Chains A and B, each alone.
Chain A
């Protein structure tokens, strides 16, 4: 009777004049005043629906205020207002939106809908915003539902889908509807359908929604539990016997075992005249003697009886252990398990792609760091131990440039050639002053350049201090190129990759297409013959050394962009660079590329297999390289001819 009246009232207010919505909400409230002041969950739905459908801009304010207990009755005239806390009292707003002055707390009675009513109101509010004419508001509402999922939001979300005209938002709504449905829909078939419909969506929120469905608890019981059993566990195979016994103890199915500390404490507490249970204290220095003493104490009743190994085994054998799904519906858990397995496979594939990208970018860094070393080693047969310091000098050049040029893009454009110039000059100076005097003494060159390395590193430390200096990348290099929740790569790494590619092409051009490259290759193959042909090996050596050092400087800027610039940063890369050269083979750009790719991929792979421990990863990588040298002592791409003979 009441219901029909209410419905009639709602229809009466709704049907005739939807266009003149202003003030409509106030009228609905007035018509249903008694319902609103003493609402019940069963019947209030009609009023809320009527309000929600009224089209009055005030309706959602009223509903929101009501849900938040801010809809108040003024005691003086029993009129309804929206109250907003202001100073000691409240600012009042009439239901049609006009301000209505202020009132003290004592003058007002707030309407306090119970939790059931509030949930009806809030789902109505959701529907409000989900059908808002402004797409931005609809999107915000979707986001807030996705953040804070609750069963009440499912129905309004579903209701809002047919009227959604924005295709992007509609897809988003449908997806969210599935995520909500698989958790909250009362119908098992609908939940399974929702899980199926999601398919192999690898997004984090899908996985976050599916994972609770397959959550299990581990229980011990005498017979099979009634719930949705995930699997039966066998002690000794699926879990250790100690864990199984701990489960029994936790479920109060068995007494706790006697720990060594408890036994010790019990024995100490029962020392009588230098003896415990008839065993002299001095003899209690073995487990066996202590067990004897404890058994004697048990027999006399002085200590509680502890489970022996036999008893523990018996109890274990008597019980069964299960993983039980917290979700009671087997159809849902099966579907979720399947879906997760499929998603896991897809995620694994994507992780492989991501790993590949990481490996490529690491290889690019190693290539940049090692190419200069490989060129000088190939042409001159000397290893430049100060190469790492040239990398550092390049990075510090970038840092100093940024001190003078505040614009990061511009400073980067200045720093790259400047770093090249500075380290080129340093390299040529070092070659002229030291290395040219030590030709044909490669081991001494190694040590002399090492002496320079020590000195340079310490000088840099003295000049720039020990703390890390920033080398800031321009804003357009911030962030990452994100393909999905799994695969992403930062722009800096892409830039470094492109830089490495650029240098690869540059070196190929230099070595194959220029006079200098021709002469350098000749000197690499046979310096004496090259000299006889009128090539000046000293000049070639000087230029290649300068070039190799210059590229170290550029590599330093590139590395400095994503790592901190310290005086030791070059030393961190030097061993990897050596490895790259040794593995790749000397005097060949392709060899260095192959070496860098191999070392980079290998390092990433080992880190992936053993993610907790990057130190171990490096250890294993070096071990691998030592073994690799066994099979290809001259590297992946070895020089042929006389140069390989020494």
Chain B
């Protein structure tokens, strides 16, 4: 069963976001990394890029496919995880920790209400398991 830390918020596209003061840290979920398989390449938005909630912010490539990354909240990119770009396996090993992708500032805390709580994301995953596609 995929890990779903309770303190995070989730998108239906399987991104997570965590508030650290005025900064939002984002990444992909444990479920997403397991479904993608071994991640081999990350294309992340450069520092200063304006992110719009649920709009495409980058790409993630695994041995299976290239998938779009969607911004879970709006904001401005303050930092990208160079360590994950250099060693994409971090995303597989530690998706909620060392495998974070982007930090953004200037966020709208109100947008978090559009995201799923851990409990809601867990039941969303259960729904996916029964539908198969």
User: Does B associate with A?
Assistant: no
Task: Using CB atoms and an 8 Å cutoff, list the residues of chain B in contact with chain A.
Answer: none
